Amino acid sequence: MKVIDLNSWQHRGQYKLFRSFASPHLSTTVRIDVTEFREIALKKELSLFRSVLYAIMTTANQIPELRTRFSGDKIYEHAIVHPSYTVPISDESFAFCETKFVSDWNEFDRLCKIQTDQAVKQSELTPDATKDEDHWIYLSCAPWLDFTATHHPVPNADDCIPRIAWGKITEEMGKWRMAVNLQVHHALVDGLHVARFYQGLESNLKNF
């Protein structure tokens, strides 16, 4: 973990401004092109959920701002962040699941399947096991819905853990597209970093 000196940080003006806001979270949804990725996933018989999750986490870890957090007056950048995501359980409910992120796809796929298979055995939603840590990205998949916007609940204005959601893959004029939402704290992340996330995600999916 790298501690950031606010006095010499190039984003200090943005940070100071948006730390003072009551509603400082920026939420953006883009319907990205997944045509080539879909063909690869079907050909290789990949889990769409786990492969998209891997591509999202790979991209998030490539962008320092999505690994940056603050706590009180301390600002710091994690070397790596991990996925904490929702999984469906009985009675049309959901539960939380955490998986360690590793850069090797096969190993991540194995770990994610083990953790997910265990998590779906839960009978109810329990308090989030990640609440005392912030080296996470919170994620949700809504495969039933081709959404155009969404907003994630946060406990307070100082919650700076990014949230990501993705939806149904749909065909549009011969291309396959998927809605992806990214919600971030504007004190740490701005539009340029958001754009880099979507550009990187499309590239990582295309070259899966």
pLDDT tier, 193 (very low <50, low <70, confident <90, very high otherwise): very high
CA pair distance 38, 46, nearest whole angstrom:
10
Share of the chain above pLDDT 90, in %: 90
Domain count, the chain: 1
Range of the domain at 32: 2-206
What is the domain-level CATH number for residue 31?
Answer: 3.30.559.10
Tokens 């319907």, located at residue: 31
- Tell me: pLDDT of 100 over 70: yes
Q: What was the pLDDT predicted at 91?
A: 85
pTM: 0.96
- Tell me: pLDDT of 67 over 70: yes
22-36, 54-68, 112-126, 155-169: lowest mean pLDDT where? 112-126
Burial 161-177 (b: 16+ CB within 10 A, else e): bbbbbbbebeeeeeebb
Higher pLDDT, 116 or 125: 116
